[in-house]
Amino acid sequence: MDVHAKRISAADAAALVKSGMWLDLGGVNSQSEVFDKTLAARASELSDVKIRSCLSIRPLAFLEADPQGEHFQSYNWHFGGYDRMKHDAGSVIYIPLNLGEVPDYYRRFLDPPDIAVIRVAPMDENGVFNFGPTNAWIGTVLERARTVIVEESPGIPYVYGAGNGVHVDQVDYIIDGTDRPPTELPHAPLTDIDHKVAHLVASEIEEGSCIQIGIGAMPNAACSLLAEAGFKDLGIHTEMLTDGIIDLVKAGCVTGARKKLDPGKVVFTFALGSKYMYDAITRNPDAECRPVDYTNLPHIIMQNDKAVSINNTTQIDLQGQAASESDGHRHLTGTGGQLQFVRGAYASKGGKSFMLLSSTYERKGTRKSRIVLDLTPGNIVTTPRSDIMYVVTEYGIVNLKGKSVADRAKALIGLAHPDFRDDLERQAREAGLIRRWVH
């Protein structure tokens, strides 16, 4: 079949969907737009259509057309704000994971998708549709899918990286997409707390470190401070590429010269930020968007010396368990790659991992401590106490590796807001975490 024969309308593509099928519609900037709308228009004709997606960055037409889930069942690997809202409404179900393992799930445990639809850049001179700034597990999904449809979208920038595209020979159908550029993630304004935490993290970073940055204001503040401090020869091997990392590159702090893997390259599996960031990686041979089982598996992360993992959490108990993805039984985000990068960084020669949080938060006009005796009932432990290394709040930084339960409790109480420390110590003693002879 020639390329012209593979081109069909979005309506004809949606007509391929039958009741009971499994669909995969990608995630972040690879998420289908035009097919999504034509599928939504068929909602009343279909039933029991099961759809996997990830980190939606705009409303999804199929969910808006079927708010009660009577026709489509939506499964999601990691929540953005829209996915969280739909989960709260009962329209989306979360799939627990370690992000770097997802390609293996598709190969070993999941039935092949009946149809996969991915938004891609226009076909290049080699017959390849580039995935742009979102790679993740797309390649594996397309290998496994019974029918592969690409939504050819001039708005998707061309980003280099092994495995960051699919050849037309592996594509069954091509539909026309939009020229809408990648969705931009607005900057969260930095607070004094963000700056204090970032200063503490930056003080522990060494020249030649290989950095992973999680999503959020605090990790990005750490990038800004590393740039201001004039670090040299930093490397980047990360899950998510952010504006803060591009700031480091532009400041001359990132050379990748000391990386054992991919020296000189900024390696990531998806990018989400501003136009400034997307422009920086478009056809940039030093930026590589790679599959998630290359970026996120600990045995690969650890091959770069001085690997550094910098991530947020929302609550930590006095034994060091970090809950980063839920508020009780209400799911907020997902495990993502946090645990894998914590483990990979620690296993590298000279590696370090940092878990960042503000000491308090406000809820309904009441200030509460993020450092607690017990996690909120139902809260999911994202990173176990045995894996936590550095914990950082605006009140200090502690390394929990090798510390007893009692020493951990005392150290974490010292990171809490002063207004909560006495009560936390009383609770810790009553629970038997701190004994009289511990100082």
pLDDT tens digits, one per residue of 379-429: 999 999 999 999 999 999 999 999 999 999 999 999 999 999 999 999 999
12 and 70 fall within a common domain: yes
Q: Please provide the DSSP assignment of 268-309 as one string.
A: ESEE-S-HHHHHHHTT-TTEEE-BHHHHS-HHHHTTSTTEEE
Say if residue 277 is in the same domain as residue 390: yes
Which of these three, 108, 143, 176, is where a domain ends?
A: 176
Strands 322-323 and 315-317: antiparallel
Q: Is the pLDDT confidence value at 330 over 80?
A: yes
Give the model confidence (pLDDT) of 238-290 as tens digits.
999 999 999 999 999 999 999 999 999 999 999 999 999 999 999 999 999 99
CATH number at residue 44: 3.40.1080.10
Domain assignment present for residue 183? The answer is: no
Q: In the prediction, which pLDDT does 257 show? A: 97
| Residue 124: strand, helix, or coil | coil
Q: How confident is the model at residue 347 (pLDDT cuts 50, 70, 90)?
A: very high
- Does a structural domain hold residue 438? no
Domain range holding 383? 192-430
Q: Are residues 160 and 124 in the same domain?
A: yes
Sign of torsion, CA 254 293 351 339?
Answer: positive
Binning the chain into helix, strand and coil, the percentages to the nearest 5 are: 30, 25, 45
Co-location of 127 and 218 in the same domain? no
List, by residue number, the catalytic residues: 239
Q: Looking at residue 318, what is its pLDDT?
A: 98
Q: Containing H/E element for 266?
A: strand 266-268
Residue 1 pLDDT > 60 = no
Q: Do 410 and 275 share a structural domain?
A: yes
The pLDDT assigned to 188 comes to 77
Nearest 5°: the CA angle 91, 96, 101 is 130
Q: Is there a single domain that holds both residue 132 and residue 249?
A: no
In angstroms, the CA 108 to CA 114 distance is 16
Q: Measured between alpha carbons, how far is 326 from 379 in angstroms, rounded to an integer?
A: 6
Evaluate whether residue 399 is within a structural domain: yes
Both 392 and 243 in one domain: the answer is yes
Average pLDDT, the chain: 96
Verify that 157 and 197 share a domain, yes or no: no
Say if residue 168 is in the same domain as residue 23: yes
pLDDT tens digits for range 164-211: 999 999 999 999 999 999 999 887 788 999 999 999 999 999 999 999
Q: Does any domain span residue 272?
A: yes
Is 216 found in the same domain as 168? no
Does the pLDDT value for residue 19 go beyond 60? yes
Domains of the chain: total? 2
Tell me the pLDDT tens digit for each residue of 24-52: 999 999 999 999 999 999 999 999 999 99
With respect to residue 187, please indicate whether it lies within any of the assigned structural domains.
no
- Do 420 and 390 share a structural domain? yes
Is 415 inside a domain boundary?
Answer: yes
Instruction: Kindly state the percentage of the chain with pLDDT values over 70.
Output: 99
